[in-house]
Structure 1
């Protein structure tokens, strides 16, 4: 059953009373007091605050995090292309979420400061309890918006409960506030999340609960804990925990904004935050956990489990989702031209190389100085020749380039390679082979809509989707339980290497993904690499890889230099070796300043006490 996110409520409310309010002439506007004495307008106000949660479903325009990562490339020559080549500055104003989220913060604060005396709500017997719940939702949203600013820009200005009039003179002290330190920002967000969690009376909104399904997507205790888990993991990471590169990053008065002293207890805090959610999941009676599907033999089907965790709405793995979204545009970007798609969004060869074989072994163990892969021949991997192979989820065996044979199940749920069949075999297109080589139906030779990497994504693309014939809307998952498990094992490995929970919960992810358990007896560094690889594979195209390479301080290696794919300039068939060869499509630039987004230059010019991020 389709379960709408509360954001869908916004379109209904704004199309009636709230839209009418916005459309009135200034002399006829309702006052803040009048708005917050009416239940309908107060609810629509809060729905509007929810709408400040960014729609992350369509990567090309809405948010940049996937298309700026080393996992992805889009063929359009837009802002992401310029950023990846290093051609941007603080005046470029790309993805200015600083302004966006501060507007959301102000709107949430207005709600918090004015809802208590709502006369219509208080007329109901349950009115006081509803006000407590709605205030907790607004407090969560405000904390969430601050956390989004923190991960993009670093330390921010804490406004607190003040409602700052945007029409104030720039000379007013409230318009000239300084940034708080990173640790102060984290402490503030945690405090706000704790307050919200304490006042929320719903732990988890659960699929199938008829009483709660209309509230799917509202703040809950679980969502507060999940945001806290991510926040504390990032705070413990090398970029923000003892980073000497930021020893001169300070306000004009000399206040240091990033603590340069390493604190191992930050990893402990992150581990404990994630473990709290895991403990709930394991005692919830199946309300929260990894989503699994089984084959006819009763074994976990790694392909279907991973593919459908994104397609089966509000399954037990979902923690946060958005009903009103632009998934249709994302899916069209990943759809080949044979099905009226744009064929423009593809994984890089670096991501392709990360996927293990179905025996759990990594086929590529490194690269030579010239960029050639170092192949583990014991894995069974080969980049020579073709084999007859039926991929998981396919309806027939195909002549397949050996690079794509016998990879782990999640590879086939994520990657469309040339020679594979289009996933929707029920449309008028029927069973069709995808051609990404130069003269192919989706190749460079036929249109400007093509993949420079010679691959397309198919993760979170429905097998019933067609951009013309069938583009049924569905919710978009933003956070899921698998991320919590990976947060936990990463933090635990840093704080308590060798702890048995590390293998236990990492193996839960691997088992669901259809590969064997991790090797035993690994040291901390070996386990760290296993965890990072697992995180990259499991969470690719979920807006996390961009932040992972930065918080780990490895982006200067992973996000710079030559990027590879197949040869989009060559090939006349799906058995032509001219296409199936590693080819550089782009050389990217990553400077040390890129670890944090620049604060928009207009903000720096308006506030003389607001310091710019290092290097900008």
Structure 2
């Protein structure tokens, strides 16, 4: 099929059919509404039907930030608490422990994804070749396989959120007996095993790539990417040997989670990740690079991998949503005095996580009072301000229009030293007070009563705004926001997934550091090992044992994949929620009115300060099923601990 446009949505009458999907509706449909026969006898309507099934692929911009809320639930990004008043279904209340089985969640996975799954089954059962409209049986079989992929993907999306969901292998007649419609939930491992087989089989049937006009359609590589991430999750401590769930049963009497540790799950995950990498390489995928003077330009490479399409040479993308709400993402990341809303930022914890330009971690941990344990070898300091602009070898030009700007200038004089000499990815993700904002021809002014600061809630709640996936070509006041794809899976993650899984099942394997170093090389920081690396840096020695390398991988994941909807799931699957998602988020002094780092001055802005107090209980590893759904279906068993005070 050659004309499916994933930007297009199904017509109103057909939507009614999708959402009802029952024989009574069809039999009694008025003349101005569509029947299944009318839909699948027409090429355009069939394509619209398929596009509607794709329409619930998550939006990794505003969807992850607001509607779904994975970024809000994690520890990398923050949002104005006033969003609770505007959008009550966000996870802001979840973040502070004020969430219940009766709380609304705008993701609506439980209601809306099954609708798309049902629609996918309807297409599989009813779509057919149409020679008069040049629709071949091969076209139809490809569409069926796309539907099978989306069914598996949506079931995993729900399982990842809830831990256990009912599974239906076909359309269920709405007039069927109650026992056929209320089947209870499937055990986590059983669902993973079934989806694993389905995705692997589909990877041999779907094309490895599409022409650019069909960007966003399912491929064999997308199947392997979803499968690899799923198996990594399934091998992780939350669901592999976690005795916390021992004895927790589904309606059928089977344990929801297998509490016995299975080391082979890590081997299975590693093999899946390696298969993905190999097949992706064969299909032309790889890390995205840009160069300057014959060398990797880490700024432009990491910047444009988020903004460029495959037609522009970005072969790092493995699966993406073509139409996303990056406008709201960018608007809320833009200072309020610069034509934006200014309420969406990053945490001090993420600021601390980025490496220095010498590849060292600036912060080794935190004291009981929240103060940082500084790594003196990194050259990091939280005192003073820069005397000179910082110059790097790059074509990235955030300081354009600055008076006397120099080639490769990434900061201006008088930048707080906390933000000096950091790795390239830091500057691409963090907009701090005193950064040059070229669209306005001035520095950001985030102190209280300044243009971009408080006391309004439309300001950085902890002194930072997000800069990840933000285009320098945007003009906020004119509403100009260049297109960018919504990347859901990419090669950089695949490399890190493989390194992690391999470290757990075969510590010491040379591929672990090889793939970890590929990420660091592209990021423009020294690799791990001995001697000189590919960028001419002296490599950083490390101890080659499992625990040490595990920590190196986790640190790299946080900075490489930050603000991409992955961090919260990492914290969950590592079973670190109680440790990392409890206590205060920190930032700069939101109420500060002076451009100072004097900790004894209550008006000094550049002082670590407590912001939002978070709360995480063990029940929050899984989203609860809304109580109204449990009340309707006696076979549903609520997620662990949501019906207790634990």
Same-fold status (TM-score > 0.5): yes
Partner of 1:81: 92
Superposed, which structure 2 residues align to 1:42-53 within 5 Å? 42-53=46-57
Superposed, which structure 2 residues align to 1:77-226 within 5 Å? 77=82, 78=84, 79-95=90-106, 96-115=108-127, 118-121=128-131, 124=134, 127-161=136-170, 163-165=171-173, 167-168=174-175, 172-200=178-206, 202-205=207-210, 212-226=211-225
User: Distance between the aligned counterparts of 2:551 and 2:146, measured in 1?
Assistant: 38
Q: Which of the numbers 469, 473, 481 marks the counterpart of 1:464?
A: 473
Q: Which of the numbers 295, 299, 303 marks the counterpart of 2:292?
A: 295
Instruction: Structure 2: give runs of 5+ residues left out of the alignment.
Output: 20-25, 85-89, 400-404, 406-411, 529-540
Partner of 2:636: 610
Q: Which of the numbers 299, 306, 309 marks the counterpart of 2:302?
A: 306
Q: Give 3-state SS (helix, strand or coil) of 2:72's partner.
A: coil
Sort the Cα spacing of 1:335 and 1:522 in 2 relative to 1 into closer, same or farther, 3 A.
same
Partner of 1:324: 323
User: Distance between the aligned counterparts of 2:34 and 2:11, measured in 1?
Assistant: 15
Contact (CA 8 Å) 1:217, 1:322: kept in 2 or not? yes
Q: Give 3-state SS (helix, strand or coil) of 1:135's partner.
A: helix
State the Cα distance separating 1:21 from its structure 2 match: 8.4
Render the CA deviation track for 1:68-118: whole Å, top value 9, x for unaligned: 111111013314332111111011022331111111111111111112xx2
Render the CA deviation track for 1:397-417: whole Å, top value 9, x for unaligned: 321111111011100011011
Indicate the RMSD between aligned Cα atoms, in angstroms.
2.2
Q: Does 1:368 align with 2:370?
A: no
Contact (CA 8 Å) 1:398, 1:419: kept in 2 or not? no
Moved more, 472-481 or 559-568: 472-481
User: Distance between the aligned counterparts of 1:576 and 1:376, measured in 2?
Assistant: 21
Q: Which of the numbers 540, 562, 576 marks the counterpart of 1:540?
A: 562
Sort the Cα spacing of 1:474 and 1:331 in 2 relative to 1 into closer, same or farther, 3 A.
same
State the Cα distance separating 1:18 from its structure 2 match: 5.2
Q: Does 1:26 align with 2:25?
A: no
User: Distance between the aligned counterparts of 1:474 and 1:14, measured in 2?
Assistant: 26
Moved more, 471-480 or 133-142: 471-480
User: Distance between the aligned counterparts of 2:217 and 2:203, measured in 1?
Assistant: 12
State the Cα distance separating 1:60 from its structure 2 match: 4.3
User: Distance between the aligned counterparts of 1:45 and 1:502, measured in 2?
Assistant: 43
User: Distance between the aligned counterparts of 2:560 and 2:627, measured in 1?
Assistant: 36
Moved more, 453-462 or 390-399: 390-399
Partner of 1:405: 420
Q: Give 3-state SS (helix, strand or coil) of 1:366's partner.
A: strand
Instruction: Structure 1: give runs of 5+ residues left out of the alignment.
Output: 206-211
State the Cα distance separating 1:253 from its structure 2 match: 4.0
Partner of 2:627: 601
Render the CA deviation track for 1:127-151: whole Å, top value 9, x for unaligned: 1111111110000010000010011
Contact (CA 8 Å) 1:56, 1:62: kept in 2 or not? no
Which is bigger in relative contact order (C-alpha 8 A, separation at least 6)?
A: 1
Sort the Cα spacing of 1:404 and 1:499 in 2 relative to 1 into closer, same or farther, 3 A.
same
Sort the Cα spacing of 1:103 and 1:223 in 2 relative to 1 into closer, same or farther, 3 A.
same
User: Distance between the aligned counterparts of 1:444 and 1:49, measured in 2?
Assistant: 43
Contact (CA 8 Å) 1:440, 1:572: kept in 2 or not? no
Superposed, which structure 2 residues align to 1:206-355 within 5 Å? 212-284=211-283, 287-296=284-293, 298-314=294-310, 315-355=314-354
User: Distance between the aligned counterparts of 2:606 and 2:186, measured in 1?
Assistant: 52
Contact (CA 8 Å) 1:157, 1:178: kept in 2 or not? yes
Render the CA deviation track for 1:264-307: whole Å, top value 9, x for unaligned: 111111111111122234445xx2111111122x2211111111
Partner of 2:507: 497
Q: Does 1:71 align with 2:65?
A: no
Q: Does 1:586 align with 2:612?
A: yes
Sort the Cα spacing of 1:232 and 1:243 in 2 relative to 1 into closer, same or farther, 3 A.
same
State the Cα distance separating 1:370 from its structure 2 match: 1.3
Sort the Cα spacing of 1:347 and 1:290 in 2 relative to 1 into closer, same or farther, 3 A.
same
User: Distance between the aligned counterparts of 2:258 and 2:131, measured in 1?
Assistant: 46
With the length of structure 1 as denominator, give the TM-score of the two structures. 0.91
User: Distance between the aligned counterparts of 2:110 and 2:388, measured in 1?
Assistant: 49
User: Distance between the aligned counterparts of 2:197 and 2:46, measured in 1?
Assistant: 25
User: Distance between the aligned counterparts of 2:16 and 2:92, measured in 1?
Assistant: 41
Sort the Cα spacing of 1:583 and 1:575 in 2 relative to 1 into closer, same or farther, 3 A.
closer
User: Distance between the aligned counterparts of 2:550 and 2:597, measured in 1?
Assistant: 38
